[in-house]
Structure 1
Amino acid sequence: MKKLTRGQKIVLTLAALPMIAVGGFGGWGTYTNIVSEFGRAATAAGAVAAGEGVTLVLALVMLVLTMFGQPSPTVVRAGLWLAPLAASVMGVSVADSLTERIVYALTPFGMCGAAEGLGLLARRVVVYSTDVDVEAQRRNAAVLQRIAYHRARAERHPWKWVRKVSALVAWRLIGRLGHGDATLGSALTDVQNTRVVAGADVALAAMLGGAPELPAVAPPVTPATPRPPVAASPATPKPPRSAPPADTATPSATGSATPTDATNVGDEPRYEPGTPQHVVRELWLSLGHRPTEGQIVNALGDAQLPNSRAQAGKIRRQVEGEDTQLPGPRAA
């Protein structure tokens, strides 16, 4: 959490003192106006409390909610606009002449403006200290919710004119997204600064590309560690050479022996378990006839293997070509 410096505290104090003074004079002016009209101090105090006092209370409520990291309800936000208006209407209603109506209508805005200013100043201090703007997050969340609703209605609503209207509303809401969000503005500024630095790097590399490169410093050579001498082992005497074996009859070209690692024609191929070829061959043998592509797709899917129809046809042709003893297609 950021802490205010001494200079910032002094500036905030100097800014808050005139606001408090203006608010006090505004409340006192409204009080004297009502007293001159009605002649009763209690009535004047009640009128000040109902107009400027309500505005002050709502501003303090918004301040406390902001300090606790909670957005302000709609009633509080609307009251900050309606309470000064009610105080002005009350002043106009008790005035006798046009000049008094103008003065009585403007007098309540002294205390109301001071309450608004103090509340806004305190909220900004909280945002600066915590880096969290709850009101901006509330506005962005509400805009995003409306955008999602109108986008869904623009794609799936059965009426064409409703889809068109929702699409236009969604585009209009996108223009309001992030408005007044200092955190988003700071993030966008960081992105722009990164791009500017990257562009400057490319420009400097193009301008200074012909500069001679610094010679590479060869790494220090580490002397090789001598190995201990290895004792020579005694020579092993070779066994006496035996007489060459008698020549055997050379088989003819047509009767040549088959290598042990070759596969005779018609022998069943051996597939590793878990491979697509093994799954298709086992399915073929279990069915007793040539499986269809749909059956192969289901079997490959059960084995958690790629199971597209193109893959199924390819593997079936491979297994059929390598194993000629498999049964044919099922009779119709």
Structure 2
Amino acid sequence: MGNSICCFNQEDGVEEDVAFLQGRIRPVSVDEIQLVDSGADSTVARPLQAICLGVIGTGRSSFVNTLLNSSTECKVSGGQLRGTRGCRLVSNRASNDLGGDQFFLDYIDCEGLRSDQKVKSVELDDFFHTLVPSIRSFKGGTVSHILFTLDVAERQTAPTMNNLLVLADVFKAFRSNCYLVLTKWDTNGVQKDWNNTLLAWCKKNRRVKTVESLVGEPPRPETMLVEYLEYLDNKVDSAVDAEAGRKMKTLLAFFENRLIWAYNLGTAQHEDREDGELPVFQEQMYLFYRKEALSSLMQNATWKKTNTLPLLRPHADLTVLADEYIMKN
């Protein structure tokens, strides 16, 4: 099968088989980052405005915490049965950075869709009715990013992929603002299964006591992407896996090079970090991949009017739209 993925046709959602262009993914330096000015104060950067989507338990809230360099901004689901409930807009949150590195974020943390079965029309309708009021509340009626999270440590299923593709279809008019946030790729199981470059780096640096003693940098996102694509090509054990793999490649094609590799800390790791006890190699990973994520999001960030989304058009019937999206996918 090779590193071939399907092209997502924006007009009707159909797939076309094309070669995956790994060369389109280019590292971004901090020097290239330019935030759009707010217009009111030339010294204040315009806040990023993000909608955080995905299925249950994939790390949406944890990623918001990572972006803001906080352990408490979002309550992580942990033992909650359903994780985040409803959709809530939080405005003008400042990152815990110093000086010119600080930025501001308005975000909507959305309840996750189910991962065990395809979303039903009534469920999507309920989701729309909780999401739309929050989107309407964005300052200026604009949004800059739609963030979809995917837990790569979990075995991908056709329902999970289908539900993410439904959400991609909902926001395809803002396709260039959509980013896929990959999470939990640092687990021991994932490192042994396919993330071999990260495994090797961690083994070299696990017992390092100072930053100066670290050997090399953590693997770059594009390196891990190559390994992940090879893993997807080679680990097909059943017809169900084959369907999930096909949908996964369609999903990747929708996002093109807009992929974020999120290294989110767990509760215990946050506590260790606050106490100065987080292992040096994990601190380096956190700083490295957070910087990569911010660079990707801030480079050429664009703000689009939310009233051009089908969900927010005048007289939009959300129930009818939910039925249409389910039928198409």
TM-score range, shorter chain: under 0.3
Larger C-alpha radius of gyration, 1 or 2? 1
Structure with greater strand percent: 2
TM-score normalised according to structure 1 size: 0.19
By relative contact order (CA 8 Å, sep 6+), the higher-ranking structure is 2
Structure with greater helix percent: 1
TM-score normalised according to structure 2 size: 0.20
